[in-house]
Structures are given as structure tokens and as C-alpha cells.
């Protein structure tokens, strides 16, 4: 198993997430549509690729990252073209010809590598084309369509097109999921680095996603995290005793594979047995790499100006004082005249910055690593 710090962990480099995968496959087999719920960097995309790499023979699995789409029809075009890729058509082999012939009923003039065009050059309604093909698809295998960064897509459409188009996209997805003909042929899985519930709530569309089955992707349990460290150290020639492994995990606290691998990647550079002070030094070293953490700050900049200033103030204070009470947070919000403090706070919690697990009225950073990085690189 290689140490992966920036890419998706796949195949032999994927640490088996048995709890989540068991739950996902159970709900897929029951015909449910799924919303993967977790903050960024917890491992949602790696889990989706594991489903893609290890699916059962009676399923066809499609993965698509929709983050770059910023218009409603552009989203459907990406999804449609992904469905039409040669690899997918080859998967259904002798039924491929029949599958393509279905397209003729939509009066398409030209099918090219870039997509589909009408004879008059007008843009195609890709949503209608997608629905028609799914409904009439003649295959004995069921589709699993996984859409990564779907919530970010909704935010993009709100920003660059309109709230109405974002609402339309959410509504169309719900109609698809509830269509009995579609339900027999497709399971949809939605995931992303920001909360779909928060985004849908902002545009009064929470009812469009209340049929989704949420599955939380959690940090590793202590015993599992310890086994993960042992595997990484063994496969990457890192000389570390179990006592030091336990110390490492106690410092990480929020035990997601990303943070564990960042530290292990630093320890990999040593030529001697790992000592406690080496672990402390490794923590300091990763704080100097902005590439690992800058996205945490960048994400906040998509908020409205007063929301961004409020969120930054909250995180600055917590990074210095370790905790902040809910009453103190509301006092800060008064300064920025926020209409919905709870919504911004929920975004900070869902996106993986802070939590109030130990005390409902007190907030702290999920990760001591992120807290130290924020204090060093943003707050000061």
C-alpha cells in the first residue's frame, strides 16, 4: 500500500471502509438512492471509486465529477456524454446497437465525439435525452450512477445561471428518482465536499432531496486507524513501534486517512526508528505545505462577503483559544448583521472545520492539524 496524500486511493491503495461499503451496498440492493454525507478529505471519492472498481457483475457503474458544470443543461450534457462513452456501450456488448438506435427517436442529426447536435444547430435538451435513454435502455444490468461534487454544481448554477435553474435541476433529479421505470434501472449516488442539504435549503428546495438515503462517512475507529498505520509503516519501510503509533493517532485526533497519510509521508523520510519528537516534527513540517490545506480557506471565499468575514473571525478565534461558545459566536454574528447564523455555522460543521460533539454549546476544530495550520497561515 502506497502513501497517498493528494490523489484518490484506489485498488490496493484503498483502506477498506467496511462499515460504509456494507451500508452502501445494502441500500443499493434495496433500490435506494444515496447521499454520501461527510466533510472534505474524509474519503468519499475513494469509496466511490472502490464501488466502481469492485462492483458486482449484475451492475454497470458510472462515475462522473460534475464540479465544472455551471449551467443546468451543461450538467445534463456531461452526464449524457458519460453515458454514451464507448467504454460504457461496450459493456453492454451486443445490445449496444439497439441502445444507439434509441437515440434516433429524439431526431438527432449528428453524433460526434463532442456530443450531439440537431440539424438546425440548436442545443439539445440533454435532460430529456438522458431520461429517454435511461427509460428505454435494454439491458439486464442495473446502472449505478455516481455524481461527485454535485452540491458544488448546484452552487455553480446558482452563481452563474440562476436560482430557478438550480431548483429545476434538483426537481428533475427527484422526478427521475421517483419514476418507477427509472427506479428499476438506476441507483443514483450523490457526494461532494460541501453539504447538499445546506445548498438545497438556501434555495427552499430541501423537499427535492428528502427521498435520498444519507450515509455518513466517518473517521476511522481507533483500532482500525492503528491497523492502517501498521500497514502503511510495513509497506513503506517506516520503522515505528506501536507506542509511537498510538501517540501519533492521539495527536491527529480526527482520524481520517488523509491526515494519517500526511504524517506517515513525513516519517517515511527518516532513516532511523521513529521517536516521539520525530512525530512532533512531522506535524510542524506538514503545516508549511499550503497545498494540503489551502482549499479549506478557499472554500470560505465562496460565501457572501459578510458570511465569509464572520466565518473567518470564528475560525480565527477558535484556532487561538481552542474553543468558542455558541453565545460568543452569536455575538460575533451581530457585528456582521447576518440573517441566518445557523446556516453558516452548519456549513462550517458539515464542511469539516468545526464540531460541537463534546458540548452542544461549545465548538472546536475537528482536527488539531487544521487548527494549527489555520492559526499559523490564516489567523496570523
CATH value at residue 331: 1.10.10
Q: Using the 3D structure, point to which of 216, 247, 266 is the last residue of a domain.
A: 216
2 lies in some domain? no
pLDDT score recorded for residue 41 = 81
pLDDT of the residue at 182 = 85
Confidence check: pLDDT of 322 > 70: yes
Domain assignment of residue 89, yes or no: yes
Q: How confident is the model at residue 347 (pLDDT cuts 50, 70, 90)?
A: confident
Question: How does 79-95 read in b/e, with b if 16+ C-beta sit within 10 Å?
Answer: bbbbbbeeebeeebeee
Q: Is 105 in the same domain as 203?
A: yes
For residue 181, the model assigns a pLDDT of 84
Tell me 43's DSSP state: S
| pLDDT surpasses 50 at 187 | yes
CA 37 – CA 35 distance, rounded (Å):
6
Q: Would residue 46 count as lying in a domain? A: yes
User: What does the pLDDT read at residue 337?
Assistant: 85
* 78-135: pLDDT as tens digits: 888 888 774 555 444 444 445 555 554 544 444 444 444 444 445 567 788 788 777 7
Task: With respect to residue 1, please indicate whether it lies within any of the assigned structural domains.
Answer: no
pLDDT at site 124 = 62
| 64/177 same-domain check | yes
Residue 304 domain boundaries: 292-379
Longest dimension (CA), the chain: 71
User: Nearest CA to 145 among 173, 114, 111, 117?
Assistant: 173
Predicted pLDDT of residue 321: 94
Higher pLDDT, 61 or 290: 61
- pLDDT at 114 (0 to 100): 46
The residue ranking higher by pLDDT, 170 or 295, is: 170
Is 4 within the bounds of a domain? no
Q: Same structural domain for residues 309 and 193?
A: no
Same structural domain, 226 and 209? no
Q: Are residues 87 and 144 in the same domain?
A: yes
* Residue pair 345/329 in contact by the 8 Å Cβ criterion: yes
- Give the separation between CA 306 and CA 367, rounded to whole angstroms: 25
Proportion of the chain above pLDDT 70, given as a percent: 89
pLDDT score, position 120 = 46
28-62 pLDDT, tens digit each: 999 999 999 887 788 899 999 999 999 888 888 99
Q: Are residues 264 and 350 in the same domain?
A: no
pLDDT of residue 80: 83
Residue 184 lies in a domain: yes
Please give the tally of structural domains in the chain. Answer: 3
For residues 197 and 194, give the distance between their C-alpha atoms in angstroms, rounded to a whole number.
9
pLDDT (mean) for 362-377: 93
Q: Which of these ranges, 102-106, 147-151, 175-179, 190-194, has the smallest mean pLDDT? A: 102-106
Q: 374 pLDDT band (50/70/90 cuts)?
A: very high
| pLDDT (tens digit per residue) in 217-232 | 989 999 999 999 999 9
Q: Identify whether residues 302 and 236 lie together within a single domain.
A: no
Amino acid at each position: 500500500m502506497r502513501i497517498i496524500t493528494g490523489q484518490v486511493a484506489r485498488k490496493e491503495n484503498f483502506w477498506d471502509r467496511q462499515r460504509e461499503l456494507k451500508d452502501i451496498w445494502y441500500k443499493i440492493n434495496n433500490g435506494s438512492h444515496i447521499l454520501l454525507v461527510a466533510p472534505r478529505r474524509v474519503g468519499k471519492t475513494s469509496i466511490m471509486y472502490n464501488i466502481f472498481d469492485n462492483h458486482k457483475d449484475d451492475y454497470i457503474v458510472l462515475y462522473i465529477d460534475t464540479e465544472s458544470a455551471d449551467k443546468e443543461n451543461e450538467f445534463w450534457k456531461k452526464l449524457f456524454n458519460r453515458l454514451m462513452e464507448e467504454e460504457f456501450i461496450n459493456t453492454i456488448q451486443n445490445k449496444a446497437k439497439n441502445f444507439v438506435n434509441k437515440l434516433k427517436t429524439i431526431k438527432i442529426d449528428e453524433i460526434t465525439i463532442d456530443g450531439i447536435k440537431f440539424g438546425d444547430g440548436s442545443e439539445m435538451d440533454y435532460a430529456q435525452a438522458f431520461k429517454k435513454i435511461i427509460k428505454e435502455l435494454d439491458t439486464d444490468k442495473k446502472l449505478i450512477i455516481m455524481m461527485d461534487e454535485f452540491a458544488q454544481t448546484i452552487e455553480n448554477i446558482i452563481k452563474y445561471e440562476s436560482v430557478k435553474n438550480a431548483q429545476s435541476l434538483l426537481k428533475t433529479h427527484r422526478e427521475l428518482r421517483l419514476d418507477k421505470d427509472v427506479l428499476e434501472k438506476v441507483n443514483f449516488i450523490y457526494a461532494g465536499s460541501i453539504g447538499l442539504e445546506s445548498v438545497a435549503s438556501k434555495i427552499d428546495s430541501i423537499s427535492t432531496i428528502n427521498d435520498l438515503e444519507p450515509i455518513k462517512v466517518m473517521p476511522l475507529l481507533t483500532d482500525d486507524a492503528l491497523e492502517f498505520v501498521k500497514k502503511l509503516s510495513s509497506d513503506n519501510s517506516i520503522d515505528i513501534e506501536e507506542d509511537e503509533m498510538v501517540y501519533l493517532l492521539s495527536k491527529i485526533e480526527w482520524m481520517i486517512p488523509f491526515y494519517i497519510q500526511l504524517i506517515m509521508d513525513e516519517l517515511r523520510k527518516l532513516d532511523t526508528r521513529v521517536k516521539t519528537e520525530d512525530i512532533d516534527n512531522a506535524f510542524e513540517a506538514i503545516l508549511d505545505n499550503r497545498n494540503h490545506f489551502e482549499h479549506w480557506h478557499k472554500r470560505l471565499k465562496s460565501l457572501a462577503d459578510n458570511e465569509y468575514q464572520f466565518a473567518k473571525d470564528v475560525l480565527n478565534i477558535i484556532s487561538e483559544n481552542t474553543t468558542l461558545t455558541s453565545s460568543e459566536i452569536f455575538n460575533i454574528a451581530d457585528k456582521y448583521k447576518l440573517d441566518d447564523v445557523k446556516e453558516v455555522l452548519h456549513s462550517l460543521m458539515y464542511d469539516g472545520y468545526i464540531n460541537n460533539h463534546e458540548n452542544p454549546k461549545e465548538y472546536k476544530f475537528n482536527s488539531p492539524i487544521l487548527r494549527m495550520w489555520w492559526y499559523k497561515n490564516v489567523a496570523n
